[in-house]
Structure 1
């Protein structure tokens, strides 16, 4: 089984912003076999599906360490009908990623409803050039990224991405980016932004690793629940994880996404459980987010 690597970067452009409250965090997928991954008071938010009901989102550190989402059990099993990606075919890639996103929307909407948290879908934009966003310029070397400021996932339809048609890799990539949107809705992104505001370099990197590794885990939990549909058998999954363990760190000179073994560890946790309960990187020992 041949794997290729398209890099991504997670960045937080806090230094350019006038106040912590204005923080916009952009994050792209960490390394995957093909395309890849603080106010103390609770805040309130309105859910479009809540028909006027006001749901409370935990604030501050609680949003990351004790989210109600961790107590919602497994994600629903889904059949996405995404089809196959044909090597070099932009149309089949767009179709596949759009269908996976629809599945992600349905899956996480169900999970947020169980958690009694407000849910809203992210926007999805396919691009053929590396466009900027309210979060800043396109991250160097990234195949795609999520911008929390406008809640949009940017997916590059680039020649190097289209070379590898292996569907599970691209599904994991999309699920990782969607994982950042989940973090935004949980209140994790706000906690992250507040925590790294004016923090030292080592603290910023430590928080970035916890953010990115959680997205790896959340993405893998989703992949488990659609594995019969894609399909993803155990041998394929084991090969993906082994590849990430050996190669996942190669494009992160600053180690802001975690070493390959850390990425593999959190991918395994998510895939084995199929549940966000396994994805609390914020209370995990430092050795697991190194």
Structure 2
């Protein structure tokens, strides 16, 4: 967690069960799968949807056995290429929404028009940004499946004001960490080497980088450290953000 380490947080028995001792941490490594995503230019809704569909298939095939080993029934997600102003099961997709996971319909919603702007930076940048972001949002789906998000949501009403930010950082860092566990396990089929690996490192370290004002996703240093551990371990065992020391 960002800041000077202090005491680790304490949780109720339910928190211990769902956050600290969740069975996902002992469910083993994320497997490599035969992941083939189309090499398309991400400038149209059709192209983006095709790319997201293919990558989601990789994520679901890799994560399903891990979730099942955690003692939970796997439920597939859905993915939608939308634009600002589109209606989703979690409300209107707003200008600030680049991508998000919606637990109401297990949907991942992506701003396809923004990806065209990423193509202006380069095709590799656009593709890897999409992979990292999609892997993060699917990490939220895993959290939802195994009960982490349910307990996190239950606690939301128990804290006030800026106190929300500390558990939010843990939740977001964990989703990114789950994403990196998948990407590390599938480095070869996704060709995350050379320029593509450097692009991954850049995206995985972003966090609450200026001009971000709310400290809700963790510092770049925290994101870098959690991502590196998960990419190497290729396992959710490296992603128990709930036992990290509180920020001082």
TM exceeding 0.5: yes
Partner of 1:131: 86
- After the TM superposition, which segments of 4 or more aligned residues of structure 1 sit over 6 Å from their partners? none
Deviation at 1:182, TM superposition (A): 0.6
Q: In the superposition, relative to structure 1, how do residues 139 and 282 fare at CA in structure 2: closer, same or farther (>3 Å)?
A: farther
Partner of 1:109: 64
Deviation at 1:285, TM superposition (A): 1.7
Is contact 1:244-1:261 (8 Å) kept? Answer: no
What SS does the corresponding residue of 1:214 show, helix, strand or coil? helix
Is contact 1:61-1:191 (8 Å) kept? Answer: no
Q: Distance in 1 between matches of 2:203 and 2:110?
A: 23
Q: Distance in 2 between matches of 1:162 and 1:96?
A: 13
Partner of 1:14: none
Deviation at 1:243, TM superposition (A): 5.9
Counterpart check, 1:210 vs 2:170: yes
Q: In the superposition, relative to structure 1, how do residues 91 and 139 fare at CA in structure 2: closer, same or farther (>3 Å)?
A: closer
Q: In the superposition, relative to structure 1, how do residues 236 and 127 fare at CA in structure 2: closer, same or farther (>3 Å)?
A: closer
Is contact 1:84-1:92 (8 Å) kept? Answer: no
Counterpart check, 1:230 vs 2:171: no
What SS does the corresponding residue of 1:146 show, helix, strand or coil? strand
Partner of 1:197: 157
Q: Distance in 2 between matches of 1:247 and 1:256?
A: 8
**So what's the TM-score if we normalise by structure 1?**
0.72
Deviation at 1:116, TM superposition (A): 2.0
Partner of 1:169: 129
* Unaligned segments of structure 2, at least 5 residues: 1-10
Q: Distance in 1 between matches of 2:133 and 2:66?
A: 20
Deviation digits for residues 221-258 of structure 1 (CA, Å, limit 9, x no counterpart)? 11112211121016643454246546752243111111
Partner of 1:35: none
Q: Write 1 or 2 for the structure with the bigger share of helix.
A: 2
Q: Distance in 1 between matches of 2:188 and 2:80?
A: 27
* Unaligned segments of structure 1, at least 5 residues: 1-38, 42-58
Q: Distance in 2 between matches of 1:169 and 1:161?
A: 9
What SS does the corresponding residue of 1:203 show, helix, strand or coil? helix
Is contact 1:148-1:181 (8 Å) kept? Answer: yes
**Higher normalized contact order (CA 8 Å, seq sep 6+, divided by chain length):** 2
Partner of 2:34: 79
Q: Distance in 1 between matches of 2:141 and 2:16?
A: 18
Partner of 2:8: none
Deviation at 1:198, TM superposition (A): 4.2
How many residues are treated as equivalent by the alignment?
Answer: 232
Partner of 1:285: 245
Q: In the superposition, relative to structure 1, how do residues 268 and 61 fare at CA in structure 2: closer, same or farther (>3 Å)?
A: same
Counterpart check, 1:141 vs 2:101: no
Partner of 1:64: 19
What SS does the corresponding residue of 1:124 show, helix, strand or coil? strand
Partner of 2:218: 258
